[in-house]
Amino acid sequence: GAGVSQSPRYKVAKRGQDVALRCDPISGHVSLFWYQQALGQGPEFLTYFQNEAQLDKSGLPSDRFFAERPEGSVSTLKIQRTQQEDSAVYLCASSLLWGPGEQFFGPGTRLTVL
Amino acid sequence: GDSVTQMEGPVTLSEEAFLTINCTYTATGYPSLFWYVQYPGEGLQLLLKATKADDKGSNKGFEATYRKETTSFHLEKGSVQVSDSAVYFCALREGTGNQFYFGTGTSLTVIP
């Protein structure tokens, strides 16, 4: 079956532009996670959804970052007024159940802010 | 807070060599521990996991034992192959929490 997909795979933005990153989780997966992975670092948690509800957004680095999952499937991570420090790979993961359970990761979107 | 520290790379080994990648953790409770692997151009994949002390996770010839006394979860493989070349991430999840904490990753290159 299809895994987690993300689009675009690569995004180049000028500083100050808004960007939107899309995640298509595995069909039927309840939980969805966003992570930010800076170069040479491990993924860092941004936010978590259970169905359409955003239950944890403690990892979002600023109010320029916003995530939504309005119908409980596809999710979008939006970054407003991008800054150079936002350059990273943004990973999406989904899992079948709430709470514990294996997370399946997408290939990521590499964002470069010039 | 919770954190994971893993051996820095890059690591270069000859085929059939023995592999150890060290991982230690800090957690307030009773975490589950994981090793994820990222092959070039692909997403993170779960390699193995252990959910309680003294559990051993194993997969594809890789093993790791959850050692509570040393707060460690070292990854080992007796004989590496070229196809094992990838970046390996140690991670923990606290109890039934949703958040994973990842180490910085260790890049492994296996040469023929």
Residues of A in contact with B41 (CB under 8 A): 107
Tokens of B54: 């003294």
Of A45, A102, A107, the CB nearest to B43: A107
Q: Tell me, what's the pLDDT at A11? A: 97
B7, B98, B100, best to mutate vs chain A, most A CBs in 10 Å: B98
Residues A85-96 have pLDDT tens digits of 999 999 999 988
pLDDT: which is higher, A97 or A28? A28
Residues of B in contact with A40 (CB under 8 A): 104-105
Residues B2-34 have pLDDT tens digits of 899 998 889 999 999 999 999 999 998 889 999
Q: Tell me, what's the pLDDT at A1? A: 53
Residues B71-103 have pLDDT tens digits of 999 999 999 999 999 999 999 988 766 778 999
In A38-108, which ranges are E strands?
44-50, 53-56, 65-68, 75-79, 88-95, 104-105
Which candidate, A18, A98, A11, places its Cα nearest to that of A55? Answer: A98
Q: Tell me, what's the pLDDT at A40? A: 84
Instruction: Provide CB contacts within 8 A for A53, sequence distance 6+.
Output: none
A5, A46, A95, A103, best to mutate vs chain B, most B CBs in 10 Å: A103
User: Following CA atoms B104, B110, B111, B112 in sequence, which dihedral angle do they give, to the nearest 10 degrees?
Assistant: -170
In total, the C-beta contacts within 8 angstroms joining chain A to chain B are 56
Average pLDDT over residues A30-45: 92
